[in-house]
Amino acid sequence: MLTHEFEIRKSSVEMERNMTLSECYEEMGADLHEVLRRLKTEERIGKFLKLILTDTNYESLCKALEEKNYEQAFTHIHNLKGLAMNLGLTPLLVPAQELCEELRDGEPERELKPLLDEVAAAYQKVLGIVERLD
């Protein structure tokens, strides 16, 4: 049974100052200009970026993996990958793509915990930064 020990906490970051959209993307190591070409305005990007704070795909992914429901796990990681791709969240996109490909054909061929750990760390980083968005 795959047990994932990395718990995502949507913590309060009251002590840290808020960030602009540009600062958020810089902190994430992502390319805001590329996303602006697609979504056109910073307001629109910010609106969609904040949706990640209420998105449940990560939690659903972990549950599906614990239950070895690889079809559902694929759906959830594919959704996260799409979110990361559309919003230019490169730190999350790269590990999400790798886990997505491992789950694409159903039964994985290798241990998933290291891949899930990478996704979890990237997801936590993105959440922490987006929480600080003005």
CA Rg value for the chain:
15
What is the DSSP code string of 64-132? HHHTT-HHHHHHHHHHHHHHHHHTT-HHHHHHHHHHHHHHTTSS-SS-SHHHHHHHHHHHHHHHHHHTT
Domain limits of the chain? 21-130
pTM value?
0.84
The CATH code for residues 21-130 is: 1.20.120
Percent of the chain at pLDDT above 70?
88
Reduced to 3 states, what is the DSSP secondary structure of residue 42? helix
- Per-residue pLDDT of 47-91, as tens digits, reads 999 999 999 999 999 999 999 999 999 999 999 999 999 999 999
* 43 token code pair: 């307001």
